[in-house]
Amino acid sequence: MPGVLVARVAKPDQQEGKNDHRAALQTPDAGRVRLTVIGRSRIEGTDLNQLFRPLGGGGHASAAAVTLKTEDAAWVLSQLVKELTAQIPPPPTAADLMSSPVRTIRPDTTIDQARRILLRYGHSGLSEWHDAAVGAAVAFLTHARNELCRKRKT
């Protein structure tokens, strides 16, 4: 999973283990709980350190943690998830990935001609146009290099 937030909620009167300081767990504030959130993310563009620092936590962009006392752990978690989600960059669009202008070929183009076009422009696929007047693309000629290799083997 590319992005994970793990949370643990402990009531102030709970003993968690020998290494925990009991005084830190016992607070005079009724209704407050101790919330520990540990985050890990491999999503490019997210920064967990930036997310947790305002709450007193920290770490690295891809791994950080925070421990805090709150009356509403569910609300804090929902806010963290909301803020983390807002950090995730939008997925790339076709315009981000495709080059322009679009290189097209006619149905009578040979595989060798298509291969040369692919090599010349550094493309991995070409659009095949059957009716250029209407402009309806009906197929992609992808991986023409593989097609050429397959034809040479037979």
Tens of pLDDT, residue by residue, the chain (154 residues) = 566 667 677 766 554 444 444 444 444 556 788 889 999 998 989 999 999 999 999 999 999 999 999 989 889 999 999 999 999 999 888 778 777 777 888 888 888 998 898 899 888 888 777 654 444 443 444 444 455 556 555 5
Same domain membership, residue 121 and residue 63: no
Domain boundary among 52, 87, 122: 87
56 Rama sector, left if φ>0, alpha if ψ -120 to 50, beta otherwise: left
**How big is the chain by its Cα radius of gyration, in Å?**
28
Number of domains comprising the chain = 2
| Residue 83 and residue 101 share a domain | no
Same domain, 77 and 38: yes
* Residue ending a domain, choose from 87, 116, 141: 87
Which of 53, 87, 121 is the C-terminal boundary of a domain? 87
pLDDT given for residue 134 in this prediction: 45
Model pLDDT, residue 137 = 40
Residues 83 and 99 in one domain: no
38-88-93 Cα angle (round to 5): 155
Q: Tell me, what amino acid is at 129?
A: W
Q: By residue range, what is the domain housing residue 115?
A: 94-153
Binning the chain into helix, strand and coil, the percentages to the nearest 5 are 35, 30, 40
pLDDT of residue 141: 42
| Predicted pLDDT at 152 | 56
Domain shared by 74 and 111, yes or no: no
Look at residue 63 and give its three-state secondary structure.
strand
How many other β-carbons are positioned within 10 Å of the β-carbon of residue 71?
Answer: 11
- Token digits for 107? 């149905």
Write down the pLDDT at residue 108.
Answer: 86
Distance, CA of 60 to CA of 41 (rounded, Å): 10
